[in-house]
Structure 1
Amino acid sequence: MVISPSLEIIEQCKIAISEWLKLVGLEIKPEKTRICHTLKRIEYDGKTEEPGFDFLGFNIRQYPAGKYKSGKTGGTINRLIGHKTHIKPSQKAVKAHMEEIKGAIKELKTAPQSALISKLNPIIKRWSNYYSAVVSTETFTRLDHTIWLMLRAWTGSRCGKASHEKLRNYFRRGTVKLSNGKERQEPWLFQTKDGYTLWKHSYTPIVRHTLIRPDATPYDGNWTYWATRKGQAIGTPNRVAKLLKKQKGRCTWCGQYFAPSDLVEVDHIVPRNLGGKDEYKNLKLLHRHCHDDQTALDNAKAVSLTMEQSD
């Protein structure tokens, strides 16, 4: 993928990539190569190209917007740019996901309800987590409704034409606990009698990517900012983020700030084998190499203590 504000540069890059690929016996496939604009339709190579493009299962496109919804350049000028950028699940990715769910429901047509839930939950959670950082709320809601219709048909195939009474054997009113810890009342949960519940796409919270400040770089020496931002990054475990905030972005072993590329590990202040509990007041965050150093020191102390006791 090549992105540039200039069509001329894009065409030059296409030629350069073609020449580079020839050296290894490869070539660009015209049917898989597309040049388009992210905001408006363009005429290119005799074809009308619609705005936006798909990449890694995402659709990236820009939409015209007024002053209240327009994106901004950021920085000291911070002017309006007249459009907003939306990254959504691509239609191709949504279709493939629904085909996978449809196949699972068809495969387990005569299986117990719990078996179907066990099959669907990992599929739904995996897909929802992948798209949880982009504009997915509308897609999640639409998918949940489609799955509800599929499951209603699955119910009807087992016990004849679906009725309210029959649906109550598989769908129940209840409360579900979301991944952010909050609870949500649902009128129709696909749930077994013992409470085993089907996960919905909409249960996964949308967490926006935290933009980097326009004037910040990893080389500016502002380790307080970068360590704090590390705790806000998508994919950072909750307890790592809380420990980063608690320790003000510093490693408890070496005292240095955590850089964006640093590998970090959670350690118990009082080891579990010595009665320490797995709770926040007994946890600390270390660089991976600092964790190795501390583990080596702890092992050396344990050996020394054992030798003294044997003497």
Structure 2
Amino acid sequence: METEIKPLVAEFLAERGLTLSEEKTMITNINDGFDFLGFNIRKFKNQILTKPSKPAQKRFLAKVRTTIKSNKACKQESLIRLLNPMITGWGNYYRHGATRDAFHWADHQMFNALWQWAKRRHSKKGKRWIADKYWHVAKGNGWHFTSYFKKPNGKQDSLTLKNLSNIHFIQYTQIKGDANPFDPEYDKYFDQRETQKMLVTLKGRNSLLYLWKKQDRKCPLCGMPIDRVSPWNVTEKVVNGKIQRSLVHDKCYKQFRKQQN
């Protein structure tokens, strides 16, 4: 590897005006594995597995614990709203890997942190009282950290902390070996890949999926694709007395509003 493959890679990059960083380049046995972009990539028996790396798990849990400790006096509902985006984002990033053990372990660590948070608020109450106040059976699927509250209109509502263990594994579709995103010949192929990824992103959100398809997957303001790369949002306007919703790029909408003003 050191004498054959590495020089070839360096030569390949040099032709494109790039250099191979000696500091960041490591040659290791695949059985020992290595960390890359938050993943640990390693060969177990006869297959290559990608798992959340130990440092990545520690960073995530440190962020969660800091958020919990920094909000000792806030409402349970508010704490859940702070934690849910963190859990969803981290879980979705790793959902293509072998995450079962890591997700279960992280869920357990978060439970411990939340239990300490609840005990600190009610130091004179017993364990059963604390559990009954903050943990409830959600949709018949076990005990969850759930808050019940009233909305401004007076109706009862609830909010449940997301579990990493409930984020389903999605097998990553490998890219064809000869596919080149800069070759027009493969434009259709990469468009199809991006469409599949967007369908996963919008899964369970039927109204957004309907809008996306209705708009031919494009922003009505600039005509460019609505995808996972560029931030987008839902806008509403009244047309002939009816509310019309659209998916538009954030940047396009800001420019549109500036022109209107």
Q: Secondary structure at the match of 1:139?
A: helix
The percent identity for this pair of structures is 28
| Residues 138 and 160 in structure 2, CA contact (< 8 A), matched pair in contact too | no
1:123 Cα deviation from its structure 2 partner: 1.7
Report matched runs for 1:106-185 at 5 Å.
Answer: 106-160=69-123, 162-175=126-139, 185=140
Kindly indicate whether the alpha-carbon contact (under 8 Å) linking 1:210 and 1:233 is maintained by their aligned counterparts in 2.
Answer: no
Does the CA contact (< 8 Å) of 2:83 and 2:161 recur in 1? Answer: yes
Q: Which residue of 2 aligns with 1:55?
A: 36
Matches within 5 A, 1:134-283: 134-160=97-123, 162-175=126-139, 185-194=140-149, 195-213=158-176, 221=185, 226-233=190-197, 237-238=202-203, 263-265=224-226, 273-274=239-240
For the 8 Å contact 1:231–1:242, the answer to whether it is kept is no
TM-score normalized with structure 2 length: 0.64
Change (3 A) 1:169 1:277: same
Q: Within 2, Cα distance between the matches of 1:8 and 1:241?
A: 51
Cα distance, 1:104 vs. partner? 1.3
User: How far apart, in 2, do the equivalents of 1:193 and 1:237 lie?
Assistant: 27
Structure 1, unaligned runs of 5 or more: 1-5, 41-50, 66-83, 176-184, 254-261, 289-311
Shift of 1:165: 2.6
| C-alpha displacement of 1:91 | 0.5
Q: Which residue of 2 aligns with 1:303?
A: none
Whether the 8 Å contact between 2:35 and 2:41 is mirrored in structure 1 is yes
Kept in 1: contact 2:104–2:164 (CA 8 A): yes
**SS state of the match for residue 117, structure 2?**
helix
Q: Tell me which structure has the larger Cα radius of gyration.
A: 1
Shift of 1:54: 1.0
Match of 2:137, SS state, is strand
Change (3 A) 1:156 1:86: same
Structure 2: gaps (5+ residues): 150-157, 228-236, 250-261
| Letter paired with 2:146 | Q
Aligned match for 1:87, one of 39, 46, 50: 50
| Contact 2:38-2:53 at 8 Å conserved across structures | yes
Q: Kindly indicate whether the alpha-carbon contact (under 8 Å) linking 1:58 and 1:89 is maintained by their aligned counterparts in 2.
A: yes
Q: How many residue pairs align between the two structures?
A: 218
TM-score by length of 1: 0.55
Q: What's 2:259 paired with?
A: none
Contact 1:125/1:201 (8 A) holds in 2: yes
When the two chains are superposed, the root-mean-square deviation of aligned CA atoms in Å is 4.2
Taking structure 1 as reference, are residues 157 and 278 closer, same or farther at Cα in structure 2, changes over 3 Å only?
Answer: same
User: 1:133·1:209 contact (CA, 8 Å) conserved in 2?
Assistant: yes
- Does the aligned pair in 1 maintain the 2:107–2:165 contact within 8 Å? yes
Distance 2:172 2:210 in 1: 18
Secondary structure at the residue paired with 1:192? strand
One-letter identity of the residue aligned with 2:106: L
Counterpart position of 1:34: 26
For residues 273-306 of structure 1, give each alpha carbon's deviation from its aligned partner in whole angstroms, at most 9, with x where no partner exists: 2567769xxx9x9xx9xxxxxxxxxxxxxxxxxx
CA contact (8 A) 1:210 1:232 kept: no
Provide closer, same or farther for how the CA distance between residues 242 and 116 of structure 1 changes in structure 2, counting only shifts above 3 A: closer
Tell me the CA shift for residue 90 of structure 1.
0.8
- C-alpha displacement of 1:223: 6.7
Secondary structure of the residue aligned to 1:86 is strand
CA distance in 2, matches of 1:265, 1:14: 35
- Secondary structure of the residue aligned to 1:8 is coil
- TM-superposed CA distance for 1:215, in Å, is 6.7
The verdict on how the C-alpha distance between 1:220 and 1:190 changes in structure 2, with shifts beyond 3 A counting, is same
Q: Tell me which residue corresponds to 1:99.
A: 62
Identify the residue that residue 231 of structure 2 maps to in structure 1: none
